Amino acid sequence: MTDHILPKRVYYTIFGILMLGTYLTVQIAFFDLGRLNTVVALTIAVLKATLVVLFFMHVKYSTRLTWAVVLGSIFWLGIMFVLTMGDYLTRVWLTYG
Amino acid sequence: MLPEAHHAHHPALAHQFDSLGQQKEAATLGMWVFLLTEVLFFGGMFLTYAIYRAWYPAAFAVASHELDVTLGTINTVVLITSSLTMALAVHAAQLGQRKLVLWFLVATMVLGLAFLGIKSVEYYHKFEEHHVPGPGFQFEREYFRHAQLFFSLYFIMTGLHALHMVIGIGIMLVMFWWTWRGTITRDYYSPIEISGLYWHFVDIVWIFLFPLLYLIGRHGP
Amino acid sequence: MATVILPPRHYLNDGYGIASWLFTRDHKRIALLYLAGVTFFFFIGGAFAVLIRLELATPAGDLVSDETYNKLFTMHGVMMVFFFLIPAIPAVLGNFLVPIMIGAKDLAFPRLNLASWYIYMVGATFTTYAIVTGGLDTGWTFYTPFSTVSSTSQVIPAALGIFVTGFSSILTGLNFIVTMHRMRAPGMTWFRMPLFLWSTYATSLIMVLGTPVLAITILLVAVERVFRFGFFDPTLGGDPVLFQHLFWFYSHPAVYIMVLPAMGVISELVAAFCRKPVFGYSFVAFASVGIAVLGFLVWGHHMFVAGQSVYAALVFSILSFLVAIPSAVKVFNWTATMYKGSISWDTPMLYAIGFIGLFTIGGLTGLFLASVGLDVHVTDTYFIVAHFHYIMVGGTIMGYLGGLHYWWPKISGRLYNETLARISAGIIFIGFNLTFFPQFIVGYLGMPRRYHAYPPEFQVLNVLSSAGASILGVGYLIPMIYLMWSLRYGRLAGSNPWGAVGLEWTTTSPPPTENFAETPVVTWEAYDYGAPVEGHVA
């Protein structure tokens, strides 16, 4: 397996974007966007995490198996969230007796 | 059947593997599978958080205000910087630059310790303000029960995260030692790489913890 | 016929003394360390079962108090689930066979494998400590807020024990996954692997995906109990049903951790003792993975009456019907394998057909329970108890014993007494059905589970069940005796006493430490019966 050696400037660039993302997250938190606040904060977090995964953790250059593990973990987390929230979000609709 | 090849074994090659390449692939896959388990481990807590935040949004917002955004932001910067130094440590290892590896590992550890130091200060503040759940907990009456729930989540989530940081620093110490005595070379640097994977994962957990714990309803009065 | 001799050097005589065992990295020795552990804890769990059935022989709660009875069924469940059923086949047979079946020298991470065993023993020690210092009375399910607030029993040590043991499971699964992906011998493609490995792989996926959620859940219970945090306590704003969601997210897939490896064993046994490839190999392989995946989508069927929304209940009900499909596929395929096969009724095959029949009954009753309407009627009755014992005892334990008997000659180099073995299999089958079939009836008639007393009209069925349990107990003891006896006095087995196809049968019995004299190169399909190829015995 040939190892991809990223040039250092890639790491510095990603670092810069992560810093920018952190700054934005904090600044936006102080504006009232209603429900969007959470959406924006989580979106930025997901973007930051994606950059760390793809570049710092080299997943962009990794095997398909590594991709399968990464995507699988997100998918399984999703199963846990979706089916559990499926209970909590529908509790008010109808109850037994 | 293939006869056993009698070739000189690289000192780091374990007997069950046929080549360093196979060993590296196995180690890397092993660490990724382990990180998968960590995603689900932390995931249970994030799910718990999500449900109670949806149930008690006002109390969670008020409680979140009691956390220090400045310290939290500094910690986020510190941890992301430590991820950079970790990535650079792996990069140096790939190029066989032993001294650089050592420096970057030290930088990563120092930043990690700084994170834990700031966290300790925050925990101390929470203790002083009687925001530690339990018999000594104090909060405004309207939000008392549910703010206590928020702080329970705060302590368990950041506590487990901090525990993972401590373990990570321990791993970095071992990596420092291995690099120091020459075990890590251009041909055999996968321990540094997979330690880096672990460290980045711990960073990612914090990337989610920070906005979810510190930045709820900050726009409020 | 050539005289069979023991190979001069093999993994059992490769180093003597207790240190050579406690510090071994050999997956085969680690398998035997696990064998000792799981057998010991099986008998502890069995002892609790004896006490339960003694109490239930009479309607009155006259043997033990109700609180003590709560501890009996709890400890029976905890010991059997976490310290026997979950580790047994993967950690004993899996550890022994996975490297050999793929042609490797060992697992990917041998020291991690040894660590897994130590972690298992440490967890078991914590739990044993909990038992001897007063026991646990929450049920193996730890439902909140009883476990976190009201129970005065040893919740924390037991929870810690289970938490620790969970890591043993995770690391074993991790080891198997990496090994199967990265260490298969030349020519051993995924679809040439024996189906036992597909089942083990699917089991390993469940172990790594599900167990961490149990870990965090149990940790939250312990933390809540110590610090009164309130995640699951309604008086503090928490939701007890959340505990159940988190708990069953693991514990339902856990039952597939318990049964999938047994299914893998059955595939091997049916192929070997019908001298035929398993019918529909790829269907069985995909069904294994399918069970693992679908098994994660159904946990709410344990919570139909717990307070989750009826819409969630309906979704979980439909998904629970779906998960039966891959299991059924396997049963059909095993049966089709037997059709026109050259069947020999050696002991392992007896266990295999016992499994097929009893698992089918257990699985079909699972379908009954997937239906919300029926489940509401029988939940928390003995119907449920019978259902899961048909799968776990009629299924998993039969599979485990079948596998143990099949591979015993490989593991020990010796043959056991076939007559005694067949008699034991018969005793176990009869004892099992006598114990658990009456429980279906008595449960349907309304006898609740986890009660130490019951209305007198249920006594006859309970006495039958208790009588069956004593027969079953005898059935389990006899193999202990003849298997141990065979270690010293059994006839030597030779490398392939069954004439089976598989890499494990190409090496000596017992195998050398490095498994093979030379790395095999695989050029034949799995279960290649009737096609003599150099390098394996057809």
The interface predicted TM-score of the complex, written ipTM, equals: 0.94
Number of structural domains found in chain B: 1
Q: Are residues A10 and A55 in the same domain?
A: yes
Residue found under tokens 């250059």:
A61
Q: How far from chain centre, in Å, is Cα C129?
A: 24
Residue B219 confidence (pLDDT): 79
Question: Average pLDDT, stretch C237-251?
Answer: 96
Task: In whole angstroms, give the CA distance from residue C155 to residue C163.
Answer: 12
Chain A residue with minimal CA distance to B46? A81
CATH number at residue C50: 1.20.210.10
pLDDT band at C4 (very low <50, low <70, confident <90, very high): confident
Residue C537 confidence (pLDDT): 43
**Which are the contacts of C188, defined by CB distance < 8 A and separation ≥ 6?**
C102, C103, C503, C520, C522
Question: Average pLDDT, stretch B3-15?
Answer: 70
CB atoms within 10 A of CB C315: 18
Residue C531 confidence (pLDDT): 55
Residue C423 lies in a domain: yes
Task: In whole angstroms, give the CA distance from residue C512 to residue C492.
Answer: 16
Question: Average pLDDT, stretch B201-212?
Answer: 97
Q: What percent of chain C has pLDDT over 70?
A: 98
pLDDT band at B40 (very low <50, low <70, confident <90, very high): very high
For C512, the enclosing helix (H) or strand (E) is none
Which A residues 61-90 touch C at CB under 8 Å?
65, 72, 76, 79-80, 83-84, 86-88, 90
The model's pLDDT over C324-363, given as tens digits with 9 standing for 90+, comes to 999 999 999 999 999 999 999 999 999 999 999 999 999 9
Residues on C contacting A at a C-beta cutoff of 8 Å: 181, 209, 213, 241-242, 245, 249, 296-297, 299-300, 308-312, 315-316
Task: In whole angstroms, give the CA distance from residue B121 to residue B115.
Answer: 10
CB atoms within 10 A of CB C163: 19
Q: What is the least distance, in Å, from the CA of B220 to any CA of chain C?
A: 24
| CB spacing of A15 vs B203 below 8 angstroms | no
Predicted confidence (pLDDT) at residue B1 exceeds the cutoff of 70: no
The model's pLDDT over B60-69, given as tens digits with 9 standing for 90+, comes to 999 999 999 9
Residue B6 confidence (pLDDT): 46
User: Do residues C200 and C90 touch, judged by C-beta distance below 8 A?
Assistant: yes
Number of structural domains found in chain A: 2
Predicted confidence (pLDDT) at residue B145 exceeds the cutoff of 80: yes
Task: In whole angstroms, give the CA distance from residue C379 to residue C401.
Answer: 30
Residue A4 confidence (pLDDT): 79
Q: Are residues A36 and A73 in the same domain?
A: no
pLDDT band at C439 (very low <50, low <70, confident <90, very high): very high
Residue C344 confidence (pLDDT): 95
**C-alpha angle C172-C174-C179 in degrees, rounded to nearest 5:** 95
Q: What are the φ/ψ torsions at residue C179 (nearest 5 degrees)?
A: -60, -45
| CB spacing of B42 vs C229 below 8 angstroms | no
Contacts with A45 from chain B: Cβ below 8 Å: 207-208, 210-211
Contacts with C297 from chain A: Cβ below 8 Å: 79, 83
User: Do residues B158 and B209 touch, judged by C-beta distance below 8 A?
Assistant: yes
Is C241 strand, coil or helix? helix
pLDDT band at B41 (very low <50, low <70, confident <90, very high): very high
Nearest to B69 among A26, A44, A81 (CB): A26
Residue B168 lies in a domain: yes
Question: Average pLDDT, stretch B174-202?
Answer: 96
- Cα–Cα nearest to C300, from C343, C247, C347: C247
Runs of H (alpha helix) within C276-371: 281-294, 310-338, 347-370
Question: Average pLDDT, stretch A69-84?
Answer: 96
The model's pLDDT over C156-214, given as tens digits with 9 standing for 90+, comes to 999 999 999 999 999 999 999 999 999 999 999 999 999 999 999 999 999 999 999 99
Predicted confidence (pLDDT) at residue C374 exceeds the cutoff of 70: yes
| Bigger pLDDT: C3 vs B76 | B76
Domain boundaries, position B132: 20-214
Domain boundaries, position A71: 63-97
Q: Are residues A43 and A70 in the same domain?
A: no
**Which are the contacts of C316, defined by CB distance < 8 A and separation ≥ 6?**
A83, C297, C298, C299, C300, C301, C303, C304
Task: In whole angstroms, give the CA distance from residue C55 to residue A31.
Answer: 66
Residue B13 lies in a domain: no
Is A41 strand, coil or helix? helix
Residue B140 lies in a domain: yes
User: Do residues B29 and A65 touch, judged by C-beta distance below 8 A?
Assistant: yes
**Residue by residue, what is the 3-state secondary structure of C173-237?**
HHHHHHHHHHCCCCCCCHHHCCHHHHHHHHHHHHHHHHHHHHHHHHHHHHHHHHHCCCCCCHHHC
User: Do residues C171 and C111 touch, judged by C-beta distance below 8 A?
Assistant: no
Pseudo-torsion of CA A86, A89, A94, A95, nearest 10°?
Answer: 80
Q: How is residue C427 written in tokens?
A: 């005793």
CATH number at residue B39: 1.20.120.80
| CB spacing of A5 vs B76 below 8 angstroms | no
Tell me chain C's radius of gyration from C-alpha atoms: 23
Contacts with B47 from chain A: Cβ below 8 Å: 80-81, 84
Residue B10 lies in a domain: no
Predicted confidence (pLDDT) at residue A2 exceeds the cutoff of 70: no
Count of B-C CB contacts under 8 Å: 118
Predicted confidence (pLDDT) at residue C409 exceeds the cutoff of 80: yes
Residue A34 confidence (pLDDT): 84
Q: Are residues A4 and A34 in the same domain?
A: yes
The model's pLDDT over C26-62, given as tens digits with 9 standing for 90+, comes to 999 999 999 999 999 999 999 999 999 999 999 998 9
Q: Are residues A33 and A21 in the same domain?
A: yes
Residue C530 confidence (pLDDT): 72
Domain boundaries, position C478: 25-506
The model's pLDDT over C293-321, given as tens digits with 9 standing for 90+, comes to 999 999 999 999 999 999 999 999 999 99
- Residue by residue, DSSP assigns B149-170 as HHHHHHHHHHHHHHHHHHHHHH
pLDDT band at A92 (very low <50, low <70, confident <90, very high): confident
Chain A residue with minimal CA distance to B93? A5
Predicted confidence (pLDDT) at residue C427 exceeds the cutoff of 70: yes
Chain A residue with minimal CA distance to B47? A81
Q: Which of C163, C169, C174 to mutate to test the interface with B (most CBs of B within 10 A)?
A: C174
Residue B7 lies in a domain: no
Residue B9 confidence (pLDDT): 78
Q: What percent of chain C has pLDDT over 90?
A: 95
Least confident of B171-180, C226-235, C325-334, C443-452: C226-235
Nearest to B215 among A19, A26, A48 (CB): A26
Task: In whole angstroms, give the CA distance from residue A65 to residue C485.
Answer: 46
Query: Residue C298: left if φ>0, alpha if ψ -120 to 50, beta else—which one?
Result: alpha
Q: B16 CB near a chain C CB, below 8 Å? A: yes
Residue B8 confidence (pLDDT): 62
Question: Average pLDDT, stretch C431-435?
Answer: 98
Chain A residue with minimal CA distance to B187? A3
Residue A94 confidence (pLDDT): 63
Predicted confidence (pLDDT) at residue A1 exceeds the cutoff of 60: no
| pTM for the whole structure | 0.95
Chain C residue with minimal CA distance to A91? C309
User: Do residues C283 and C237 touch, judged by C-beta distance below 8 A?
Assistant: no
**Which are the contacts of C207, defined by CB distance < 8 A and separation ≥ 6?**
C90, C169, C170, C172, C173, C174, C257
Task: In whole angstroms, give the CA distance from residue C67 to residue C134.
Answer: 11
Q: Are residues A86 and A47 in the same domain?
A: no
Q: Which chains touch C (3 or more CB pairs under 8 A)?
A: A, B
Q: Are residues A9 and A39 in the same domain?
A: yes
Nearest to C520 among B1, B25, B37 (CB): B1
Per-residue CA distances from A38 to A25, A28, A42, B73, C460 (Å): 10, 10, 6, 17, 62
Task: In whole angstroms, give the CA distance from residue C128 to residue C161.
Answer: 8
Predicted confidence (pLDDT) at residue C388 exceeds the cutoff of 50: yes
Residue C219 confidence (pLDDT): 96
Residue B60 lies in a domain: yes
Residue C536 confidence (pLDDT): 40
| CB spacing of A52 vs B36 below 8 angstroms | no
Residue C327 lies in a domain: yes
Residue C235 lies in a domain: yes
Q: Are residues A5 and A29 in the same domain?
A: yes
Question: Average pLDDT, stretch B68-76?
Answer: 96
Residue found under tokens 């091997």:
C268
Question: Average pLDDT, stretch A53-61?
Answer: 96
Average pLDDT value for chain A: 91
Task: In whole angstroms, give the CA distance from residue C485 to residue C479.
Answer: 9
Chain C residue with minimal CA distance to A90? C309
